């Protein structure tokens, strides 16, 4: 590891993959602002997954499981550890006030995200924390994740098995979200994140037809976890096998590389949307009841098209609307 370990900085954020990805701009800004510092991250298992190999100067993960039986005693142990470390600076991007003692234990008293401005994107609020701490403007850093050569090799091999080459125009679909397996009454409350399988299938037909008309080697894929396979299989069937479903062994590094390979990634408001944005895929993101100005992908506007339902119901978005949005990125 390069840099001077005498300067230590604590970053605090516990959340799911999408939550963690939205702090990557701020963490990248911190790495640039403190080029000689060593960083520790207080987070959960998803945070460790996202930030593994993010930077050689991010050396330590302080892990907290919010759902564990002994979550509170373990949190108290972590607080003692934080106080012993005596961090020079602490940056809290966590919205839970439980973590106030952690950033307040830093020598500078810590810096915390300001949630009093409800119409500013969360990722930008985190960047503002950095800006206020270093007392100089911080321009936009977008979502970002490194992708390794090894991961790209694995992704290329899996795609080759279904005859997708480096010259293929690849469109990815992500039809699920993390709350899909919740009890039915909770799913019914969330009409903003589940686009119908029939709509995904019809979109696939339109995209394949476009490829045929333009003599384009175009393929549509879904890279899904085993528990998502049932939804994926229905889309494959309804599309008339216009979509190829992949369920390779779970490997976050390889998954990043697969999303990076996609020329277009069509997704609802969910963690993979943020991953796709962080690795450079062109995004067509569908929003119903959620607000893209608050929780959308924080990426360069040239790579991002939002399709939002005026009724706040995502199933009111038509396949034709999404197809027209995809045309922005089609050759």
- pLDDT tens digits, 34-87: 999 999 999 999 999 999 999 999 999 999 998 877 788 889 999 999 999 999
Collect all residues with Cβ–Cβ distance below 8 Å to 224 and sequence separation of at least 6.
Answer: 174, 176, 231, 232, 245, 246, 247
Residues 5 and 1: their CA atoms lie apart, in Å, by: 9
Which helix (H) or strand (E) segment is 263 a member of?
Answer: none
Report residue 222: phi and psi, to 5°: -130, 125
8-134 with 149-329: one CATH topology?
Answer: yes
Q: H or E segment at 8?
A: strand 8-12
Alpha-carbon distances, residue 305 vs 96, 197, 274, 290 (angstroms): 31, 21, 13, 15
Local confidence band at 289 (pLDDT 50, 70, 90 cut-offs): confident
pTM of the predicted model as reported, rounded to 2 decimal places = 0.92
Residue found under tokens 């470390």: 85
Rg (CA), the chain: 21
Q: What is the mean pLDDT of the chain?
A: 92
Q: Residue 56 in contact with residue 31, Cβ under 8 Å?
A: no
**Rounded distance between C-alpha atoms, residue 40 and residue 10, angstroms:** 5
Domain boundaries defined on the chain: 8-134, 149-329
Topology classification of domain 8-134? Rossmann fold (3.40.50)
pLDDT for 34:
97
C-alpha–C-alpha distance, residues 272 and 261, integer Å: 14
Task: Give the whole-number percent of the chain exceeding pLDDT 90.
Answer: 84
- Mean pLDDT of all residues in 292-315: 94
Mean per-residue pLDDT, 7-30: 97
- pLDDT of 239 reads 98
**pLDDT above 70 (res 196):** yes
Share of the chain residues as helix, strand and coil, in percent rounded to the nearest 5: 45, 15, 40
- Is the pLDDT assigned to residue 218 strictly greater than 90? yes
Other Cβ atoms closer than 10 A to 114: 12
Half-sphere exposure of residue 326: CA atoms within 13 angstroms, side-chain side? 28
Phi, then psi, of 295 in degrees rounded to 5: -125, 10
User: Does position 317 have pLDDT exceeding 80, yes or no?
Assistant: yes
Specify the CATH number for 149-329; select among 3.20.20.80, 3.20.20.150, 1.10.3720.10, 3.40.50.2000: 3.40.50.2000
* Phi, psi of 53, deg, nearest 5: 65, 15
Contact 243, 218 (CB under 8 A): no
Backbone angles phi, psi at 38, to 5 degrees: -100, 140
């Amino acid at each position: 590891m390069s840099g001077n370990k005498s300067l230590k900085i604590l970053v605090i954020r516990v959340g799911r993959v999408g939550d963690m990805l939205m702090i990557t701009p701020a963490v990248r800004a911190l790495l640039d602002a403190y080029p000689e510092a060593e960083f520790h991250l207080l987070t959960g298992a998803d945070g460790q997954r996202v930030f593994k190999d993010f930077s050689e100067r991010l050396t330590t993960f302080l892990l907290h499981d919010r759902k564990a039986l002994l979550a509170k005693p373990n949190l108290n142990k972590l607080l003692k550890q934080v106080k012993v470390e005596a961090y020079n600076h602490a940056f809290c991007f966590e919205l839970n006030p439980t973590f106030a003692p952690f950033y307040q234990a830093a020598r500078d008293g810590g810096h915390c995200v300001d949630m009093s401005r409800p119409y500013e994107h969360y990722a930008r609020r985190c960047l503002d924390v950095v800006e206020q701490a270093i007392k100089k403007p911080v321009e936009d850093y977008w979502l970002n994740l490194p992708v390794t050569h090894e991961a790209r090799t694995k992704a290329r091999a899996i795609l080759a098995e279904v005859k997708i080459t480096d010259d293929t125009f690849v469109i990815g679909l992500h039809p699920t979200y993390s709350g899909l397996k919740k009890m039915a009454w909770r799913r019914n409350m969330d009409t903003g994140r589940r686009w119908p399988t029939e709509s995904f299938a019809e979109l696939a037909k339109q995209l394949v037809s476009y490829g045929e008309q333009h003599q384009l080697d175009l393929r549509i894929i879904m890279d899904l976890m085993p528990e998502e396979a049932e939804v994926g299989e229905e889309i494959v069937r309804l599309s008339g096998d216009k979509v190829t479903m992949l369920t390779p062994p779970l490997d976050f590094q390889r998954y990043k590389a697969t999303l990076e390979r996609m020329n277009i990634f069509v997704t609802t408001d969910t963690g993979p949307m943020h991953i796709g944005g962080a690795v450079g895929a062109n995004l067509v993101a569908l929003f119903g009841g959620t607000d893209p100005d608050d929780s959308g992908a924080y990426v360069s506007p040239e790579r991002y098209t939002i399709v939002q339902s005026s009724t706040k119901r995502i199933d009111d978005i038509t396949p034709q609307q999404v197809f027209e949005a995809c045309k922005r990125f089609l050759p």
